[in-house]
A = this chain, B = another copy of it.
Amino acid sequence: METTQREREPEPKYWHLRTLLSKALDTEFSVGEILPNERELAARFGVARATLRQALEQLELEGRLQRRRGVGTTVAPPRVGVDLSPSQHSWPGWSGDPWTATAAAPAPPPPAVARLLDVRAGEPVEVIHRTLMTHGQPVATEQLYVPGSGEPRLPAAEGPERARWLLRRLQETDASGQDRTVELGAAGAEAARRLERLPGSPVLLVTTRYFAAGRTAAVSVATYRADTCRLTFADQPALTALTS
């Protein structure tokens, strides 16, 4: 008999389950529909609940399912696309900006941000908190760090009006470019609360540097729900035409 090397390495059960469920979702369920509960599903497939949960976690990670404690597991709608194309007109606070500012106050930024802003560690900067909603669901929270808060006309109250004042001032600066990084992260306690997720949920961490007059005018750290979001980046056809 020929020994077929690299024979059937047994597939983990949770992975096989994931595949089964994935197919079932494609054919037998529609968006928003509620699945049977975990104990029921585990029994039906003849596995422990923990194993079933491992499969569900996978599918949630892929944006196929949505689980809510006390409610149940539902079939998730397709991910929403969020445009992150760089553009002169998309600085925070531009007219048409879908973000809503919730608060602003001076505070020392985390070390990593301080480095990007080129300010001393511990040095306070203005921190603007914003949220992005789509379809009535929160999909992202952001902290915008803006140095140079020593303005006399700045509103004393630490609320939305202070945030709007700072954003208006940002709009007046002479934008010269931006810079983004995207990486996987885990939602901290604060972000988790604002995104209506549990601490540790996977999120996409988008760090943006805004440049003006050769300096870093602001740094944004945005936290997107990884389960419900798809980030999109497009070339501007108008610009590409110019380069020929």
Contact = CB atoms under 8 A, between A and B. Distances in A.
A186 B58 contact: yes
A120 B61 CA distance: 30
A237 B15 CA distance: 46
A15 B15 CA distance: 26
A178 B62 contact: no
Given A15-B200, A233-B233, A242-B242, A184 B226 contact: yes
B61 A230 contact: no
Contact of A199 (B12, B184, B237): B12
B182 A204 contact: yes
B18 A200 contact: yes
Contacts of A189: 11, 15
**A contacts with B: majority SS:** mixed
Interface string A51-84: 0000000100111000000000000000101001
Q: How many identical subunits does the complex contain? A: 2
Contacts of A156: none
A42 interface: no
A199 B14 CA distance: 10
Contacts of A233: 84, 86, 179-182, 233
Contacts of A202: 61, 184, 202
A191 to B, nearest CB: 13
A180 B83 CA distance: 10
Interface string A230-244: 111111010110110
